[in-house]
Homo-oligomer: A and B are copies of this chain.
Amino acid sequence: MTRKADRDQIRRQNRSIVLQALRRNGPTARIDLGHKTRLSPATVTAITSDLLDQDLILSLESEEPKTQQARGRPRTLLKLNPEAVYTVCIRLSVNNIDLALVNYAGEVIRDRRIHFDSATADARTFPETLVEAIASFLQEAGTSPSRVREIGVAAQGVVETETGLVAWSPAFSGRRIPIVAPLQAAFGADCYISNDTNMITEALHWSDPKRYSGTFAVVMLDYGVGMGLYLDNHLFSGASGTAAEFGHANHIPGGALCRCGKRGCIEAYLSDYALVRAAAGLPDDTDPMTIEAGEKGLARLIELASCGDADARRTFSEAGRVLGYGIARVVAIIDPSRLVLTGAAVRAFSFMEKAMWEGLEEALVADLRKNFALDVMPWNEDYIRGGLIAQSMERLDSTFYGNAAARPDRKEAPA
């Protein structure tokens, strides 16, 4: 049963909409906020004066507006108060912790990369390491931890959003590492953790909501294979928060050996180590950990293919066919309107494309595969940070209302 509606909900929602409009459009006059949000001028005045009282937004009088308008009362622009609250956005990769301090306007005011050698470090102490890293980062920045109201983390591997831990990651040699609980305990802020590809998905929706709305999927071919799902206009993370593990969906029973220990995973055909292993003619059960792949391995392979090396070309072509089959299964189950292909390996897309389409056609009946568009998108790591920022800001915007806590939770309605 749907939850009952009451007045508070209206105001909360409308405040949140005004904040979103300001974040998306930068300094804006009340009258334009009215147009953008479809609220009446009177209501915009009421809401913005609340927000001004709370120092969440600022009035931009002194600065010269000098828009095109000539006559009439000049519009006073409003903007988010950058210093109202701060967010820390963190990206965990195999060897790095990337920290960013972000203000309420969504601007990165300081960032820092900390090396973390996952091969030698003890995964069990990682949470403490992370807490210390954040604390010293904030101290350097001269920002009191109490002003940080939101901490977002993106990690590679299998992330359990619901429990707030990394369930399986190459960085932690497969150990389950709690992240959200230690951060929450240390800083008291609202914390969350998500898969890195989910954050790319969120970033796409933020940067081009026209194109990336409704139901779409993102497949990331990188050092590992990830997926993000945006379903019915919401980021989807499944019941325990581990959905969209495209890379560990099986392709061939008993097939090539994957880093996760199983055989036949899509990742075992498409990721960096899989490509290097195949191109080198190694048996497909060669332990992935013994393969030197990563950025260098992949780059060399792409170069070889570009030079016309037959083995490299064949490797990419076979990978493309696997990709086609994988996409076919996702399309059959999810029916997205668009599928975005990204990650370091899309540089080699031209070598995979033909086989990919062939695989897709072999795998899926025409009626099901004609309704989706494919985007191939080179990318950079900033997308992950962008998604974290978008997600954090959305959580913040819907939090502020008096002292009322409780962000409405889409997951479960109370009995």
- Write the residues of chain A forming the contact surface with B, with a CB cutoff of 8 angstroms: 1-2, 4-7, 9-10, 13-14, 16-17, 20-21, 24, 37-39, 158, 167-168, 176, 209, 213-216, 227, 229, 231-234, 236-246, 248-250, 252-254, 260-264, 321, 325, 328-330, 332-337, 359, 362-365, 367-368, 371-372, 410-413
Contact = CB atoms under 8 A, between A and B. Distances in A.
27 contacts: A1-B24, A1-B209, A4-B38, A5-B9, A5-B13, A176-B367, A215-B238, A216-B239, A232-B411, A233-B410, A233-B412, A238-B335, A239-B337, A242-B335, A248-B368, A249-B332, A250-B332, A250-B364, A252-B252, A253-B321, A253-B362, A260-B365, A262-B365, A263-B362, A264-B363, A329-B329, A333-B333
Contacts of A263: 362
A328 B363 contact: no
A158 B335 contact: no
B333 A245 contact: yes
Contacts of A411: 214, 232-233
A333 B330 contact: yes
Contacts of A10: 5-7, 9-10
Nearest to A237: B335
Contacts of A214: 239, 411-412
Contact of A245 (B249, B253, B332): B332
Contacts of A252: 252-253
Contacts of A325: 250, 253
A162 to B, nearest CB: 9
Contacts of A249: 328-329, 332-333
Contacts of A365: 158, 168, 248, 260-262
A359 B168 CA distance: 21
B362 A254 contact: yes
Given A239-B335, A252-B253, 4 more contacts: A1-B209, A9-B10, A215-B239, A250-B363
Nearest to A240: B371
A362 B255 CA distance: 11
Contacts of A248: 332, 364-365, 368
A367 B17 contact: no
